[in-house]
């Protein structure tokens, strides 16, 4: 069983179902509205624990009922929430997600308590970080906290996985220096390298550019097509499973959480782990919502 620790965001998602996205100045009626747990960090932690990892979570929430709802959800899945703290100044993060009739989404984020995650919070979780096999982080919490967590991990032989989302153009070199694996989607990859992802050759060019930044392993996810990988010794493409997607929210998070659970620390089973993660993601997109759509290991049959 892998020991995975996730540093990241906790949000409460408000999902707005529409036939199509409105144009500027246009008013449209919604087909439906729902509220559910979300946040990239929380989604990835839930995906990891549901795929069998011993999972701990470093995050921050407010002090309202939304926070209690989220923490209860984490506990039901058996997640270690010892390092989910309460902010003294901000409410629990919120996401407003529009999903169209084809399952595509557009998302607006209110950071809230997620922006209060500090280096001190990371230090309080230092023992948990040292005990993990790998740590996963994204950009919905402040980057100084991620850098500190990855430095602690690197100093203690803990593998680091960065999901550079939401994308930023100039990732601090201090963070890249302590990142073992990076997992962007095609848009995020282009923002990092300036190289548009159009085919496998351009994915390889992206990977080579990221290698020059100090990254050891690169995985680029390309939605319904699948995912590309490049290690120091091998490259390849793992196709996605063909399904009828109704909501792509949390698809990428499900992939990363599932991958972090199944991938060996020496990357020796990278194609098998990516196949499993693709399968988990393909199941998630067939249900509306984020965390409620993330499958359990028993449901991911290859």
Question: Which residue numbers are catalytic?
Answer: 253
Query: Within 10 A of 233 (CB to CB), how many other CB atoms are there?
Result: 6
Q: Which two tokens stand for residue 211?
A: 């290698």
Per-residue 3-state assignment (H helix, E strand, C coil) for 47-58: HHHHCCCEEEEE
Burial class of residue 261 in the structure, from the number of CB atoms within 10 Å of its CB (0-12 exposed, 13-18 middle, 19+ buried)? buried
Please tell me whether 93 is known to bind a ligand.
no
Closest to 105 measured CA to CA, from 296, 295, 293, 297: 293
C-alpha distances in Å from residue 62, one per residue of 43, 97, 109, 139, 154: 18, 20, 15, 19, 30
Q: In a 3-state reduction of DSSP, which class is residue 236? A: strand
User: According to the annotation, is 4 in a ligand binding site?
Assistant: no
Task: Please indicate if the annotation marks 278 as binding a ligand.
Answer: yes
Among candidate residues 98, 103, 125, the one with its CA nearest the CA of residue 41: 125
43 in a labelled binding site: yes
* Residue 208 assigned to a binding site: no
Residue 238 known to bind ligand: no
The response to whether 39 counts as a known ligand-binding position is yes
Ligand-binding site membership of 236 (annotated): no
252 is in an annotated binding site: yes
Residue stretches of the annotated binding site for substrate: 11-13, 39-43, 140, 253
Q: Known binding site for K(+): residues?
A: 247, 249, 284, 287, 289, 293
Q: Which residues are annotated as a binding site?
A: 11-13, 39-43, 140, 185, 221-226, 247, 249, 252-253, 278, 284, 287, 289, 293
């Amino acid at each position: 069983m892998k020991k995975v620790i996730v540093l990241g965001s906790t949000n409460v998602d408000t999902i707005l179902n529409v036939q199509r996205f409105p144009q500027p100045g246009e008013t449209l009626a919604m087909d439906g509205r729902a509220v559910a747990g979300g946040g990239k960090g929380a989604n990835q932690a839930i995906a990891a624990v549901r795929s069998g990892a011993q999972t701990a979570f470093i995050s921050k929430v407010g002090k309202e009922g939304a926070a209690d709802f989220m923490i209860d959800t984490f506990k039901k899945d058996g997640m270690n929430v010892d390092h989910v703290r309460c902010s003294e100044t901000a409410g629990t993060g919120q996401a407003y997600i529009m999903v169209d009739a084809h399952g595509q989404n557009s998302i607006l984020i209110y950071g809230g308590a997620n922006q209060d995650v500090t280096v001190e919070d990371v230090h309080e979780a230092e023992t948990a970080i040292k005990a993990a096999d790998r740590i996963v982080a994204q950009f919905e919490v402040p980057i100084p906290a991620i850098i500190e967590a990855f430095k602690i991990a690197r100093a203690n032989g803990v593998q680091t996985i960065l999901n550079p989302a939401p994308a930023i153009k100039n990732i601090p070199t201090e963070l890249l220096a302590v990142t073992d694996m990076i997992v962007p989607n095609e848009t995020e990859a282009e923002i990092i390298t300036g190289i548009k992802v159009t085919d496998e050759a351009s994915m390889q060019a992206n990977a080579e550019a990221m290698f020059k930044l100090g990254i050891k392993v690169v995985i680029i996810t390309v939605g319904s097509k699948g995912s590309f990988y490049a290690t120091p010794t091998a490259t390849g493409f793992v196709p996605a499973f063909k399904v009828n997607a109704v909501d792509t929210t949390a698809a990428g998070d499900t992939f990363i959480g599932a991958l972090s659970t199944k991938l060996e620390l020496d990357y020796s089973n990278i194609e098998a782990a990516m196949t499993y993660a693709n399968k988990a993601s393909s199941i998630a997109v067939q249900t509306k919502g984020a965390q409620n759509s993330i499958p359990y290991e028993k449901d991911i049959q290859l």
